[in-house]
């Protein structure tokens, strides 16, 4: 029912409809492709392995990003994107925000490009 409502809401002005979920959207984290996340302010990069969340790879590298739900529904881990194309898997961004690719939620989203530059 939520999916049908969201489809119908796409005909309305962007931002006029909001869904609050209490469980993240189903995601497939078993992708075969890993990628590099460049931490722009720190001047280094972190490898994200297939099936690994960006936030997990960051934590293994000693980088803490505030988080809460870790399902892409609360917005706590929002991170600015400087370059690259995120694979948005959250349930927060509008279609226009997804297309802009200026921020992402690193607990669930991944990368469509081999390299993603974040404002970290
Ligand atoms: S921790 Fe809630 S959206 Fe990432």
User: In this structure, is residue 24 part of a structural domain?
Assistant: no
User: In this structure, is residue 9 part of a structural domain?
Assistant: no
Q: Is 7 left (phi over 0), alpha (psi -120 to 50) or beta?
A: alpha
The pLDDT value recorded for residue 22 is 58
- Tell which wins on pLDDT, 30 or 17: 17
Pocket test for ligand 1, best of 74, 106, 109 (most atoms within 8 A of CB): 74
DSSP letter at 92? S
Which range marks the domain in which residue 56 is found? 33-118
Q: Are 104 and 88 in contact (CB under 8 A)?
A: yes
59's enclosing H/E stretch is helix 54-60
- pLDDT of residue 36 exceeding 70, the answer is yes
User: In this structure, is residue 50 part of a structural domain?
Assistant: yes
60's enclosing H/E stretch is helix 54-60
Pocket test for ligand 1, best of 21, 73, 79, 86 (most atoms within 8 A of CB): 73
34 lines ligand 1 (CB under 6 A): no
User: What is the per-residue burial (b if ≥16 Cβ within 10 Å, else e) of 15-30?
Assistant: eeeeeeeeebeebeee
**Averaged pLDDT of the chain:** 88
User: In this structure, is residue 16 part of a structural domain?
Assistant: no
User: In this structure, is residue 18 part of a structural domain?
Assistant: no
In angstroms, the Cα distances linking 62 to 7, 19, 23, 78 are 40, 33, 28, 18
pLDDT digit string, tens, across residues 87-98: 999 999 999 999
User: In this structure, is residue 15 part of a structural domain?
Assistant: no
The pLDDT value recorded for residue 12 is 73
User: In this structure, is residue 10 part of a structural domain?
Assistant: no
**CATH at residue 65:** 3.10.20.30
**Mean pLDDT confidence for 40-61:** 97
* Structural domain count, the chain: 1
User: In this structure, is residue 103 part of a structural domain?
Assistant: yes
Please state the separation of Cα 76 from the chain's center in Å: 11
- Tell which wins on pLDDT, 2 or 110: 110
């Amino acid at each position: 029912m939520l999916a049908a409502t969201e489809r119908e809401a796409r005909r309305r002005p962007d931002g006029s409809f909001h869904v609050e979920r209490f469980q993240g959207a189903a995601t497939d984290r078993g992708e075969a492709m890993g990628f590099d996340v460049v931490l722009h302010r720190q001047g280094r990069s972190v490898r994200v392995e297939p099936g690994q969340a960006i936030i997990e790879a960051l934590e293994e590298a000693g980088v803490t990003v505030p988080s809460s739900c870790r399902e892409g529904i609360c917005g706590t881990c929002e991170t600015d994107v400087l370059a690259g194309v995120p694979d948005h898997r959250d349930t927060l961004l509008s279609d226009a925000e997804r297309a802009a690719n200026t921020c992402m939620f690193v607990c669930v989203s991944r990368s469509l490009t081999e390299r993603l530059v974040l404002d970290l």
